[in-house]
Homo-oligomer: A and B are copies of this chain.
Amino acid sequence: MPLTIKVTEETFTPRQQAVLTAALDLLVENGDGLTMTAVARRASCSKETLYKWFGDRDGLLTATVQWQAAKVRMPQVDRSGLSAKTLRASIEQFARDLLTVITGEVSITLNRTAVTHAAQEKDSLGMIVLENGPLAIRRRLKPILEAGRDARLLRFTSSEDAYRTFFGLVVRDVQIRLLLGDKALTQTNVADNIEADVKAATDQFFALYGAKATTA
C-alpha cells in the first residue's frame, strides 16, 4: 500500500470499514491483541482477504489509524465577527476539544500504538497521529490566533510559540500520564475536571497573550 496522502471515508468500501472497525475495537480492548487471526475472526472474513486488501499487518494498522483519524472532524470555529467574547469562546472550545480527544480511549490507544511503532524505527504511524492530532489543532487554531492579533485582542510575535504554549497549558502532564497508564488519573475523573481545566487554561493563556498582558 503506497503512501496515501489523504484518506476520506470513501477510501474504503463499507465491508472494509467493518473490518477496520473490528481492528480498532480489538486495539482498544487489548492493545497488542491485534493479530491478523483475531481481526479475521472478529470481522468474519478470511485472512487471505485481509492480506489482499491491506498488504500486510502494518498496512492494516496504518489503514485503521488513517481511517479513524479521518473520522475525527473537529467542529469548525467561526472566524468572522471576532469580539473579545467570541474569541474567548473559540479558544475555550479548542481547549475543550483538545482535552476531550486526548483523554478518550481511542486516542490513548492510537497514540500508544503509534509510540510502540515509533520504537521500531517506523515513524509513519506517529506522523499520521501527529498530523491528525496536534497538527490538525494547530492548523485550525493559528488563523484564529492571528485574527485575534489583527483585532488587537491578542499580543504575540510568533503564532507558533503562542500555539505551543496553549498546547502546554491545556495538556500539561495529562497525556503522558494517561499513556503511561497512571491509575491516579481515572478517565471519569479527568472528564469531570475538563470544564475547570478548560477555563483555567484559557485564563492563563489570556493572561500571557491577552492585549492587556505584558509578556517578556
Contacts and interface: CB of A to CB of B under 8 A. Distances in A.
Interface of A: 30-32, 109, 111-121, 123, 126-127, 129-130, 134, 161, 164-165, 167-173, 175-177, 179-183, 200, 203-204, 207-208, 213-216
27 contacts: A30-B120, A31-B119, A31-B121, A32-B120, A112-B118, A112-B119, A117-B181, A118-B179, A123-B180, A123-B181, A123-B182, A123-B183, A127-B181, A127-B183, A134-B173, A165-B204, A167-B172, A169-B169, A175-B176, A176-B176, A204-B208, A204-B215, A204-B216, A207-B207, A207-B208, A207-B214, A207-B215
Contact of A119 (B32, B129, B172, B203): B32
A110 B116 CA distance: 11
Judged by DSSP, the binding face of A is helix
Given A181-B118, A207-B216, A200 B169 contact: no
